[in-house]
Structure 1
């Protein structure tokens, strides 16, 4: 159980903790060697993202290089907006629930261990996790059959993972996303912002996503689409590839569970296939310069996924079943991305042409897939 420890520190407004604070936080959970470390000897590498502050903390090797506790840990301070798009706030895990998901995933042997979950005096939440000697998944990685299989098995195991969080129905998510997409439908402000940025997005804004999402979910229900703990934010950056995996263990680990709630598993599987084509944090182009997943690669992924799902659940699903679900789920994943980007565009008056070009690419993928599956009839 991931219990929350109270830490008597206050986070500076710029998010930069002193080394003494960091030592006190880590030493609360790793109690044998870390409390005796001279804080000035710590090496702290910060990585401040959109809504949270992450850092890698390393202590010196002790004399004789014998130690019972890790030399490196990963420290995360949750920002106020971390994982919170207002319309989904009732669905996403709170910080305690997210910590529990991470803890359960770590306890399964598949993810990073959670050493501790804490709250500071000023109300900020954070975690101390195992440091992963790993790098972000790259588009070319999933063209390697072994890595692709490990990514498939990792998703299947996570989707079917036993956790203490209550399984809620999926419909509240679709009620929320369709209500918001209906609000953005034909919104002149969005068209104007896109055009001011030099990109025409009128066709996307005028498109009726709401009725089409209903047809997609109806089709998923008709084929018996399974549900699980979907991550939703399945961009490639949220899969880590180990630099030195041990023989027989998975080469990959999933990270970032701020958006985990129950949904059709095809949402994440199809979303993973889609995300190979995008690089959302690139400053020059949001569309990746790589080829899409081939059908052969998708089917191989789905076969490996089904094997792991069946091993975890006792079901007897086929790769073909998972593939059919992913073909529908990719459209649900696209509308999730489109909603979120339109939301930020509306709120922040964003007219970045790189974002609108990415939106038009997502729109084209949706229209193509919807036609391919004959859902208009």
Structure 2
């Protein structure tokens, strides 16, 4: 059980821990070997993101005997704001609920084990997870049929997972998204920021996404779209590819569950297809230099997903059924990213041209898909 444990450490204002702090945090949970580790012998690196900070840690192997405690660990520090976007505040899991979810996920054998959930003396919450020998997935990886099938199976298992989190209806999520999108619709200040950044986003800002989201949700509901636990943030940095998986073991692991909520499974599936076009943490371009997910690849993904979903749930879904759902989920996932980027743009006066170009690409993809599905009024 991921019980909140106090640790005798107070992080500095920067929230970046020293090696001694790292050692003391881990030693709170691993009490035999870690307390005597020389902090200067540790290999650590701290990385800060918008939502969290994280720190992979490695200690030297003992000179004699076999270690009884892990040599490597992964510490995640939750920022106070984290993924706490205003309109989703009442929907996203608390940090303790997220830790419990990760604990359940790790215990299932699908993801990293959670070793401990802690609170520092300065009030920072964090987790110690199993260190995974893996790399972040690249867009080109999904062109490998084996990896693509493993992602499909992993999402099906995630969506159908049994967990201690309360199952909430999906309607409040879309109410929140639509209310947020209405806030930014025709906002002159965002248009002005685009012009300052050298990218015209007027068409995007004037486009009524909220009304169109409503249509998409109604259509997906009429199709009987299935619901499950969705990650929502399915950009490819949140999928790890194992460097040396065991025979018969999945090549991939899903990570980062700040936005885990109940939703149409189509959201994550369509979102996975959409995210192949983007590299949000790239410093040269947010738009990936690769081909789109082909229809053949998407259909293969949906066939593999349906097989795994049916094994877990007893349903008899077809790949075609999942594929049709994913076509609408593609649109819903785009509007989630659009909303969050517009929120950041408005709050931070962001006019980074790379972000603006990414926004316009999302807009273009939405309009193209919406028209293709025959949802636009004649």
| Count of matched residue pairs | 377
1:72 aligned partner: 72
Aligned to 1:15, what secondary structure does the other structure show? coil
1:16 Cα deviation from its structure 2 partner: 2.3
Aligned to 2:73, what secondary structure does the other structure show? strand
Q: Deviations over 1:313-342 (max 9, x none)?
A: 221111111111110001000000111111
Structure 2 distance, partners of 1:172, 1:137, is 31
2:139 aligned partner: 139
- Structure 1 stretch displaced more, 99-108 or 15-24: 15-24
- Structure 1 stretch displaced more, 20-29 or 202-211: 20-29
Q: Deviations over 1:59-91 (max 9, x none)?
A: 111123511221100011111121111111111
Structure 2 distance, partners of 1:29, 1:310, is 39
Aligned to 2:303, what secondary structure does the other structure show? helix
Q: Deviations over 1:120-173 (max 9, x none)?
A: 112110011000110000111100000000011111111111100000011111
1:365 aligned partner: 365
2:28 aligned partner: 28
1:278 aligned partner: 278
Structure 1 position 182 matched with structure 2 position 182: yes
- Structure 1 stretch displaced more, 367-376 or 39-48: 39-48
Q: Which aligned pairs between 1:109-148 and structure 2 lie closer than 5 A?
A: 109-148=109-148
1:256 aligned partner: 256
- Structure 1 stretch displaced more, 256-265 or 56-65: 56-65
Cα RMSD (Å) of the superposition?
1.1
2:41 aligned partner: 41
2:162 aligned partner: 162
Structure 1 position 312 matched with structure 2 position 309: no
Runs (4+) off by over 4 Å = none
2:61 aligned partner: 61
Structure 1 distance, partners of 2:240, 2:34, is 26
Structure 2 distance, partners of 1:299, 1:101, is 30
1:349 Cα deviation from its structure 2 partner: 1.3
Q: Deviations over 1:180-211 (max 9, x none)?
A: 11111111111111112111111111111111
With normalisation by structure 2, the TM-score equals: 0.97
2:355 aligned partner: 355
- Structure 1 stretch displaced more, 99-108 or 79-88: 79-88
Structure 2 distance, partners of 1:135, 1:218, is 38
Q: Which aligned pairs between 1:330-341 and structure 2 lie closer than 5 A?
A: 330-341=330-341
Aligned to 1:64, what secondary structure does the other structure show? coil
Aligned to 2:241, what secondary structure does the other structure show? strand
1:221 aligned partner: 221
Gaps of 5+ in 1: none
Structure 1 distance, partners of 2:236, 2:307, is 22
1:5 aligned partner: 5
1:178 Cα deviation from its structure 2 partner: 0.6
Aligned to 2:46, what secondary structure does the other structure show? strand
